[in-house]
Amino acid sequence: MSCVLIYGRRAEYENRPSLNKVRAQLARDNEYLMSFDRLTPSSDAKNLFTVKRSPSGYEAIAYPPTYVLGPCGADTYSVINNKNEAIDACEWMLPERKGFLKNRFPYWENWAKQADKGSMRIGDRE
């Protein structure tokens, strides 16, 4: 799983090499730092959700109404806590869709633990 930390504005780091050096050292493996200035709408992000790191691991904060489940992300479902609460908090998702996603998380978590998953395609999703 890769994580992106979005912090500050680009102007805060321009012409400040010492601050850029400190900022560059903060990123760990599979972590990326960027400023709010780099955020733009992208259809590639339709299935990204927001998490925060806590003492107990990762906690879901928000899911987009476009979120879909499938084999491509199944291995991460089990390491995210509070998924149901984050799904419930999405005001743009229909209640039926919320119920469906919450009921299907356990299926995909169990599927990811299987040794023989069979064949899968990127288009496999629900």
48: tokens are: 């990204």
| Rg for the chain, CA atoms, rounded | 17
Question: What's the whole-model pTM score?
Answer: 0.69
Q: What are the tens digits of pLDDT across the range 72-126?
A: 888 888 899 999 999 999 999 999 999 999 999 999 999 999 888 888 787 788 8
List, in order, residues 6 or more apart from 73 with CB less than 8 Å away.
Answer: 47, 108
Rounded to the nearest 10°, the torsion over CA 97, 45, 55, 104 is 30
122: tokens are: 């990127």
